[in-house]
Amino acid sequence: MRSLEPNIGAVAVIAPAVQSANNTGTAIDLLGFESACLVVNTGAIDTAGDFSIKLQESDETGGSTFADVAADHLTGGAPSTLEANSVYRLGYIGNRRYIRTVLTKAGGTSIALGAVLIKGHPADAPVL
């Protein structure tokens, strides 16, 4: 079968909307998957909106246990300031059980943005 769909899990981590503040996502459990990729889709930027996005990882779901993912555990990436009307992919190749997104506003007004975390290489397929 050539379809990718039964071999991935997808989780909405930032609902598509106009973002005007920092946004720390909830912990996403990677149990049963060997890889993950955050896909970020941006739209219009209002008043020089200056936003960045990153991944954090942890072995627990507690907020204080999360730390930024080391560069050698990422593939792809996003610039320090997201651009309008763009798509970014941040691949996670670390070994922690949980990851989450952190959207940070450094200035300006807002950005239209949504993000989906795609979990890949499942231990059991098809993924239901």
pLDDT digits (tens, 9 = 90+) for 68-122: 999 999 999 999 999 999 999 999 999 999 999 999 999 999 999 999 999 999 9
Mean pLDDT of 6-17: 95
**Domains of the chain listed by start with CATH number:** 28-122 (2.60.40)
Percentage of residues of the chain with pLDDT beyond 70: 99
| Per-residue CA distances from 118 to 9, 23, 111, 128 (Å) | 6, 19, 22, 14
- For 29-57, how does the pLDDT look when each residue is reduced to its tens digit (9 = 90+)? 999 999 999 999 999 999 889 999 999 99
Pull the structure tokens for residue 68: 């930024």
Cis amide linkage into residue 126, ω under 30° from 0: yes
Asked if residue 62 has pLDDT above 90, the reply is no
Length of the chain, in residues: 128
Asked if residue 63 has pLDDT above 90, the reply is no
Q: Average per-residue pLDDT in the chain?
A: 95
What's the rounded Cα separation, in Å, for the pair 9 and 56? 19
What's the rounded Cα separation, in Å, for the pair 43 and 98? 28
Asked if residue 1 has pLDDT above 80, the reply is no
Cβ proximity of 6 and 126 under 8 Å: yes
Mean pLDDT of 63-67: 89
pTM: 0.93
Instruction: Give the dihedral of Cα atoms 16, 90, 11, 94; nearest 10 deg.
Output: -150
